[in-house]
Amino acid sequence: MDVDASNSLCSNKKRARDEEKKEKIVIGIITTVIAAIVTRIRDSESLVKEPVHDWEFERKCYLNGLYNGRESDCTEQLRLSKQGFRKLCILLSEQGGLVRTKHVSICEVVS
């Protein structure tokens, strides 16, 4: 009976070790799946981007509306008539030495 009890004890220990290994494997698989899900969610959120806003185009459209639009808009925003604004730009460039830069026109500097 001693031999049967020791065999039973050994088989119980082996079964416990096998179950412990299975638990570790299951925990590893669950951890890997959770990490993959979290990574996928984080990556998908970072890939959602707002469309690029073209500020330069919007600025040019606004200024074009001031210079070439209605007289009242120009007067309201710049406190000059369109003709007066053009004359001021010419005066500042010819006599005042104001020059345009690579990205900014004289009219834009004055406005």
pLDDT in tens, 70-82: 888 888 888 888 8
Full-model pTM: 0.50
The residues spanned by each domain of the chain are 1-49, 55-110
- Asked if the model's pLDDT at residue 27 lies above 80, the reply is yes
Residue 104 has what pLDDT? Answer: 86
Residue 8 has what pLDDT? Answer: 66
Q: Assign 44 a pLDDT band (cuts: 50, 70, 90).
A: low
- Asked if the model's pLDDT at residue 5 lies above 70, the reply is no
Tokens representing 68 are 């070439």
Secondary structure (DSSP) of 66-89: HHHS-HHHHHHHHSS-HHHHHHHH
Shortest CA distance to 86 belongs to which of 102, 99, 78, 76? 78
Polymer length of the chain: 111
| Torsion sign across C-alpha atoms 43, 45, 46, 49 | positive
